[in-house]
């Protein structure tokens, strides 16, 4: 059995290097399944050899060399498989020249960017992009990905297999898009990372309001993207946004797991180190060219985090930023958030008037935060019967037990 030091070393390497190793193998062999299999085999080999021979000076390079040898051995045994991969590789090289070789594992190039763009390819359904990103880039097992989204392991396994099959059959190339197509494709990659974060920040269903491990995984992926694409300001904006929001995680739930609204949170429990990191990134995201939606949202989050309490928050500036955000990404969700900010700036009647204009938006009919916002403003205006009806509608739609418990408390005096 492997000793504790070897297991710890393997886990650390797996965490930090798996994505890089997987990407390098995909680049070299052009097959995601093969890359995953030999990566797993290399990890298993490390657990056997490192306790006996010691942890090598460059564990990542050891794993890379071992995985490549196992891949070559497999292709030698299966010539038909090797021939098919060779054809795919020729096609891929025609689409984009391969990266230069860097020796026999001494230096493992960081090619995770090609995995980001492959997993976030627009040809894949949105749910498949998220699942594949968690599997390949975050290194979660299929059961772990399934638990993250509260679906059976078999369902998630089919989803991941479906995504890989789509990549294979559609001949989606394992490459980083060129400068002309990168901005559009990058938006899809960022949306995948943000989707992972939002599921961690406010779970779509289940007994817990938050899944901090999932939110932290999204932040880790954003940090990788930031290192790989340091000039992309929207990558910086997304990282800033997630840091500034996740900094409030400890104050968002009561000791029993109940929901604590922003106005009632103990801001002393906010993570100031994380806030300072996020605040430092906001100017970078907002300067040097046209602003993007993640940068604007990060600026809004910064105003919340800088305020001593809700009443001293700069609501006029937040409304102005929502105006900018709506011009960039007009959507009912942005309009909803703007209406709530207007209510804080101009009073509940002004905010409710804007919400009433959104009542027929299909995207908001089953969106429980919309009904919560309506109920809260109706309650502030003394329209208690209408507020109760809106709270009941929100209760029917709420996904997590802490949210439902909060709404039941709102209805308790009824």
Q: Which domains does the chain have, with CATH numbers?
A: 1-98 (no CATH), 314-414 (1.25.40.10)
Instruction: Return the minimum-mean-pLDDT range out of 4-13, 154-163, 230-239, 342-351.
Output: 4-13
Render 143-170 in DSSP notation, one character per residue: HHHHHHTT--HHHHHHHHHHHHHHHHHT
410 CB contacts (<8 Å, ≥6 apart)? 375, 379, 391
In which band, very low, low, confident or very high, does the pLDDT at 90 lie, cut at 50, 70 and 90?
Answer: very low
Q: Are 150 and 30 in contact (CB under 8 A)?
A: no
Average pLDDT over residues 186-213: 82
pLDDT of the residue at 379: 96
> What is the percent of the chain where pLDDT is above 70?
87
Q: Select the more confidently predicted residue: 87 or 363.
A: 363
Distance CA 230, CA 263 (A): 35
Query: Is 206 in contact with 400 (CB distance < 8 Å)?
Result: yes
Across the range 407-414, mean pLDDT stands at 81
Greater confidence, 13 or 32? 32
Helix axes 32-53, 153-169, angle to 10 degrees: 120
| pLDDT(373) > 70 | yes
* Euclidean distance between CA atoms 106 and 131, whole angstroms: 31
* Span of 107-121, 257-271, 315-329, 388-402 with lowest mean pLDDT: 107-121
Provide the pLDDT for residue 101: 40
How many Å apart are CA 214 and CA 156, to the nearest integer?
Answer: 16
> How confident is the model at residue 103, as a pLDDT?
38
Task: Please state the rounded mean pLDDT for residues 350-377.
Answer: 95
User: Which tokens sit at 289?
Assistant: 């060219």
Q: Residue 10's pLDDT is what?
A: 61
pLDDT greater than 70 at residue 107:
no
Question: Which pLDDT score is estimated for 201?
Answer: 86
The pLDDT score that the predictor gives to residue 106 is 38
| 284-324 tens-digit pLDDT | 999 988 899 999 999 999 999 999 999 999 999 999 999 99
pLDDT of residue 104: 38
Over range 271-281, report the average pLDDT.
97
**Res. 98 pLDDT band, cuts 50 70 90:** very low
Q: Is the pLDDT of residue 93 over 70?
A: no
CA 28 to chain centre: 27
pLDDT on residue 137: 82
Please state which of the ranges 27-31, 144-148, 203-207, 352-356 shows the lowest mean pLDDT.
Answer: 203-207
Mean pLDDT of 245-262: 91
**Per-residue DSSP letter, 265:** -
pLDDT at 21: 86
Q: Does residue 314 sit in helix, strand or coil?
A: coil
Confidence of residue 108 (pLDDT cuts 50, 70, 90): very low
Q: What is the mean pLDDT of the chain?
A: 86
The pLDDT value given to residue 256 = 81
* Reported confidence tier of residue 387, pLDDT bands at 50, 70, 90: very high
SS3 label, residue 21:
helix
Other C-beta atoms within 10 Å of 178: how many?
10
Predicted local confidence at residue 389, as pLDDT: 96
- CA-based R_g, the chain, Å: 24
* pLDDT at residue 111 greater than cutoff 90: no
Q: What is the pLDDT of residue 173?
A: 81
pLDDT (0 to 100) of residue 94: 44
The pLDDT of 352-356, averaged and rounded, is 98
Share of the chain above pLDDT 90, in %: 45
Instruction: Rank 149-153, 200-204, 376-380 by mean pLDDT and report only the highest.
Output: 376-380
Structural tokens at position 261: 């609204």
Q: How far apart are CA 375 and CA 184, in angstroms?
A: 38
Confidence of residue 350 (pLDDT cuts 50, 70, 90): very high
Structure tokens, 182: 């990168």
Mean pLDDT computed over 343-357? 98
**Angle, helices 293-306/233-246, rounded to nearest 10 degrees:** 30
Predicted pLDDT of residue 292:
96
Residue 184, pLDDT > 90, answer: no
Considering only residues 203 and 392, tell me which one the structure prediction assigns the higher pLDDT.
392
């Amino acid at each position: 059995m492997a000793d504790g030091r070897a297991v710890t070393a393997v886990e650390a390497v797996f965490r930090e290097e798996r994505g890089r190793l997987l990407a390098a193998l995909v680049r070299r062999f052009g097959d995601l399944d093969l890359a995953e299999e030999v990566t797993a085999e290399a990890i298993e080999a490390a657990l056997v050899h490192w306790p006996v021979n010691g942890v090598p000076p460059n564990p990542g390079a050891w794993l890379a060399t071992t995985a490549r040898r196992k891949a070559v051995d497999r292709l030698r045994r299966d010539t038909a498989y090797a021939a098919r991969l060779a054809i795919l590789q020729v096609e891929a090289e025609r689409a984009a020249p391969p990266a230069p070789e860097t020796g026999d594992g001494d230096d493992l190039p960081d090619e995770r960017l090609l995995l980001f763009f492959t997993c976030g390819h627009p040809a894949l359904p949105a749910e498949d992009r998220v699942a594949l990103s968690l599997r390949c880039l975050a290194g979660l097992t299929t059961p772990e990905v399934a638990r993250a989204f509260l679906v059976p392991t078999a369902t998630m396994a089919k989803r991941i297999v479906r995504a890989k099959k789509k990549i294979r059959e559609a001949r989606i190339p394992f490459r980083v898009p060129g400068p002309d197509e990168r901005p559009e494709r990058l938006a899809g990659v960022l949306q995948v990372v943000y989707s992972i974060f939002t599921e961690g920040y406010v779970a779509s269903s289940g007994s817990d309001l938050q899944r901090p491990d999932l939110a932290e995984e999204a932040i880790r992926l954003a940090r990788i993207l930031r290192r790989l694409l340091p000039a992309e300001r929207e990558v910086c904006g997304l990282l800033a946004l997630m840091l500034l929001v996740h900094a409030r995680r400890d104050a968002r739930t009561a000791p029993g797991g109940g929901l604590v609204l922003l106005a009632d949170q103990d801001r002393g429990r906010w993570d100031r180190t994380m806030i300072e990191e996020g605040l430092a990134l906001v100017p970078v995201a907002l300067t040097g060219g046209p602003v993007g939606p993640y940068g604007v949202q990060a600026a809004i989050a910064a105003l919340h985090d800088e305020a001593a309490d809700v009443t001293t928050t700069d609501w006029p500036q937040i409304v102005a930023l929502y105006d900018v955000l709506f011009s960039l990404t007009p959507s009912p969700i942005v309009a909803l958030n703007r209406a709530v900010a207007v209510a804080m700036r101009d009073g509940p009647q002004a905010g409710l008037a804007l919400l009433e204009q959104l009542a027929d938006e299909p995207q908001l009919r089953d969106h429980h935060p919309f009904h919560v916002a309506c109920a809260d403003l109706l309650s502030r205006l003394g329209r208690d019967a209408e507020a109760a009806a809106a709270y009941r509608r929100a209760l029917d739609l709420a996904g997590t037990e802490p949210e439902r418990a909060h709404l039941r408390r709102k209805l308790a005096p009824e």
